[in-house]
Structure 1
């Protein structure tokens, strides 16, 4: 709280004495998705005393684009990494440090411009960050569940600590609901049971997250990681192979955009895709007539997915419009919607720190319940580690030019093709 308020009030200055105007959060996965999703969703609650930016991609284009317009005298970097060894994050952090030092010509500038959020204080200090500028986090907290911790520092800086507390309070309300409400009325339990039923028993291979609120444009990406990294497993917590499907592929987009892109698939594909429709009664930015149009589509789509329209109804409608019998016979089969496509409707009064905290916590508890039902551990991610190790080895080979022939022929061929164009 003290640090975030210092930054917001201009009491934390850079090496030249100028106040900090921009904060760049460097992290990837849960160290990035959660805070960025929240700050963008709650942008209307920010007083813009500080501009918050996010860098997650190790593709140098992103950090170059973020840094280009910034004044190094006025930038604060938050390096968020639980282990402080994540390759993408540390690469971006080193680039940021070089950019700062080359601008200030003074290594001591780092103390005023870099802070860390990590459970590995030793690594952070070896990187060059002062001990007093390291915010601790528990090493047992997975990144995808960490926005409530010090990982949420950019949220507190952007929105103010009071708003951050409101976010936590909203989550706490759902925590209490989950712990104390009978199962038949327990929202996370109901959502988990529906997901298991649709995926494991009915064979649905994917689930769509469809927010009808512009502020939630990053929600599907956030929930994609939260659910798929948690429950995308094929081994039980006892180490036995699992033969049944566990979690569907999670994907989505703002609902209105989706209507003009992939809703055709939702309505008429042979693959049934359960969907969560998420909306708000009030817009945080009221513009006359817009919200009614938005919500009319919201309710129309869930009705259409549920009811569909059969061929008899289609034929009657076309006949009433004066179409010829030949036209009706030709077109009618294409206009049939089978319906019976499962959807969940989640409505909030409006998007606020408290309601967003509740929404996120509801999905977190849903994920936990799914893991219990499916008998899998929702809190590891061994599938992420294999690729990391291979990437480290290949990077060393790319740097040295000495390719390890122990790779498979496909990988060797791809690397050789890549190097031939350098």
Structure 2
């Protein structure tokens, strides 16, 4: 039995699972339930009243957090302790949005001045592009930026840029490339003019396979259009730790932005990795994005556990994952601009907490890392919501809605909100057989047909959900929302006693992929792998001959 499962609170929670009445009854018994189980801070409101909880469950969940040392682990992260134990690194994405006068140390060196210097360098870079001071090799103004990255160097900037489209200033167009499939890059290049295009390459090592391959192909395209190696410096910039490789590629050292070991890729959009965001919305709005995240950092670090949004959300996830068998969690965004957010939270959570050993290297004997998925409301209501309402799996849900639309159009936003609120209500209360039968009372069906159809219309309800509201989607509220999920992810990993900041599973796939790549272009067939891999490689090689 692991240390975690021996906690008094863990044992108490195990005994509480089957003691709660249906949520219908919980609401009927307590008219003040919303007031008790909702929180408001950082421009967000979290309603967690539609969860299978009562005061006793919440008390034991908070006790679990205390027994697992969550307050101390939060403090250690903010202090720059080496909590990424397998790589002996601090975890300080919070330093990227810290105030300029903060003192946050790594190896006894305050990292905040370097962060602030990078923000100033980003601002100067953007101004040069906006005002035409940076021009291409033929003297033409840059109109398009192609951001090349993978993983956190791609997904965060792309999805945040999409989310903040109402704040695009129209100064530049930005295109995102991640997939090493040649069709992805080719589609982008087809519509671009090399004389007015700037490529922004994001790779800590300047050697990430997919990113480097796409960047080399972009360079080949640029040179094939009649330009020279000397012209590369006018059309390529980089975000990397490997200045030597970037300059050898042809990038001017002044146009190389830093990356730090104490920032993981999936937490890096707040750094120069977020340059594409800043190019689209301007540096002032980018700073507001940082400010919103900073406000959530302060909330997370200083607010008691019982009123702490990330803590409550993380504990609720553990309640369902570890005590009620939930294997997935759905994120439903009722805002068109937030449609990509579930994919971002998917990477954040699953790459962080998809682990099976504790910090001490012991195999866990409890579930970790639920599958995160979701999509855009109301589209999902005509697809997978059926499974949420009547399927056999328990799938906790998060509903996210801005109360104001950037594009008020008739009753559109009222209908959107009504769908959002109606879905959470339906998941909670369901529909009984008697209610379904009553709804069919005036139909022309026979008595037996009514009874049969009524059974098909039953929804048991008692399906948990959180609702997160904001007045309006702004850079600040988006920053707070993303930081909320970052810290929620941290809470889960801290309680599960796993390292939420390495990703060795990602590394293995890369290593084996590189080994396969050499075999795909080898002069003769290779038969030193398993029969499946050998056969698949052989089929691919035949198509290349």
* Partner Cα separation in structure 1 for residue 182 and residue 396 of structure 2: 37
Q: Which residue of 2 aligns with 1:292?
A: 414
Q: Which residue of 2 aligns with 1:108?
A: 230
Deviation at 1:116, TM superposition (A): 0.3
* Partner Cα separation in structure 2 for residue 106 and residue 100 of structure 1: 8
* Matched-pair contact (CA < 8 Å) for 1:25–1:55: yes
Q: Which residue of 2 aligns with 1:275?
A: 397
Q: Which residue of 1 aligns with 2:350?
A: 228
- Of residues 151-160 and 318-327 in structure 1, the stretch that sits farther from structure 2 once superposed is 318-327
Q: Which residue of 1 aligns with 2:4?
A: none
Q: Which residue of 1 aligns with 2:528?
A: 406
Deviation at 1:339, TM superposition (A): 0.4
Q: Which residue of 2 aligns with 1:389?
A: 511
Q: Which residue of 1 aligns with 2:424?
A: 302
SS of equivalent residue, structure 2 residue 225: helix
After superposing on structure 2, the runs of 4+ consecutive aligned residues of structure 1 that deviate more than 6 Å are: none
Deviation at 1:411, TM superposition (A): 1.0
Q: Structure 2 residue aligned with 1:130, among 245, 252, 259?
A: 252
Q: Which residue of 2 aligns with 1:52?
A: 174
SS of equivalent residue, structure 2 residue 521: helix
Deviation at 1:401, TM superposition (A): 4.0
Q: Structure 1 residue aligned with 2:316, among 188, 191, 194?
A: 194
* Matched-pair contact (CA < 8 Å) for 1:5–1:160: no
Q: Which runs of 5+ in 1 are unaligned?
A: none
* Matched-pair contact (CA < 8 Å) for 1:26–1:80: yes
Q: Which residue of 2 aligns with 1:243?
A: 365
* Partner Cα separation in structure 2 for residue 402 and residue 221 of structure 1: 40
Q: Which residue of 1 aligns with 2:339?
A: 217
Structure 2 residue 207 is matched with structure 1 residue 85: yes
Alignment RMSD: 1.1
Q: Which residue of 2 aligns with 1:159?
A: 281
SS of equivalent residue, structure 1 residue 253: strand
Q: Deviations over 1:15-63 (max 9, x none)?
A: 0011000000000110010011111111111111100110000000010
SS of equivalent residue, structure 1 residue 209: strand
Paired residues, what number?
A: 422
SS of equivalent residue, structure 1 residue 53: strand
Q: Deviations over 1:225-268 (max 9, x none)?
A: 00000000001111111121111101111021111111111111
- Of residues 119-128 and 99-108 in structure 1, the stretch that sits farther from structure 2 once superposed is 119-128
- Of residues 236-245 and 23-32 in structure 1, the stretch that sits farther from structure 2 once superposed is 236-245
* Matched-pair contact (CA < 8 Å) for 2:141–2:196: yes
Q: Deviations over 1:191-215 (max 9, x none)?
A: 0001111112111011111000000
Q: Structure 2 residue aligned with 1:99, among 221, 232, 235?
A: 221
* Partner Cα separation in structure 2 for residue 295 and residue 73 of structure 1: 46
Superposition TM-score, scaled by structure 1 size: 0.98
Q: Structure 2 residue aligned with 1:258, among 363, 380, 388?
A: 380
Q: Which residue of 2 aligns with 1:336?
A: 458
Superposition TM-score, scaled by structure 2 size: 0.76
Q: Which residue of 1 aligns with 2:186?
A: 64
* Matched-pair contact (CA < 8 Å) for 2:153–2:265: yes
Q: Structure 2 residue aligned with 1:326, among 413, 428, 448?
A: 448
* Partner Cα separation in structure 2 for residue 60 and residue 418 of structure 1: 16
Deviation at 1:332, TM superposition (A): 1.4
* Matched-pair contact (CA < 8 Å) for 2:519–2:537: no
Q: Which runs of 5+ in 2 are unaligned?
A: 1-122
Q: Which has the higher contact order (CA 8 A, sep 6+)?
A: 2
- Of residues 141-150 and 411-420 in structure 1, the stretch that sits farther from structure 2 once superposed is 411-420
